[in-house]
Amino acid sequence: MAIAYRVKERLRDFYRATNPDEARQLLEELQGHCLKRAMPPEVQKLGRTIRDWFAKICNYHLAKMSNGPTEALNNLIKRIKRIGFGFRNFENYRIRALLYAGKPNWRVLGSIVVR
C-alpha cells in the first residue's frame, strides 16, 4: 500500500512539473523505479505502460491537454447504448438517451423529427 502511494505521488510530481525536461527526467526515474523486480506486479505493469507510452505521456507537457474529455464522451456513449438495449421504438430510445445525457431542452425535444 505504501509503495503504491509513493508511486502515485511521484506520478503527480510529473504532472505538476512546469519544465518539460524536468518532467521527462521525473518520468524516466519513475519508470525505472516501477520496473524493478522487487515491485509488486501491478506497479511493474505501470512501469511497462510508462515505457510503452513514454513519449506520448511526456507530450502532455508540450500540449497541456489530456484525452480525458474524449474518454468521458466515449464512456457516455457506451452507457447510453447499454441503457437503450431492448428499445424497439427509436423515439423512446432517443428520449432515454437525452435524459441520461443531461437536462434536455423539453421545448425543442418535441419538435425534432427523426425519419
- Mean pLDDT, consecutive 10-residue stretches, the chain (115 aa), reads 92 94 96 95 96 94 84 81 73 73 67 57
Contact 27, 57 (CB under 8 A): yes
pLDDT at 84: 67
104 grid coordinates:
434536455
Output DSSP code: residue 36. S
pLDDT at 112: 58
Question: What is the pTM for the complete model shown?
Answer: 0.62
Task: Tell me which residue has cell 447504448.
Answer: 81
| Alpha-carbon dihedral angle through residues 4, 48, 78, 75, given to the nearest 10 degrees | 50
Neighbours of 39 (CB within 10 A): 17
Alpha-carbon Rg for the chain in angstroms? 22
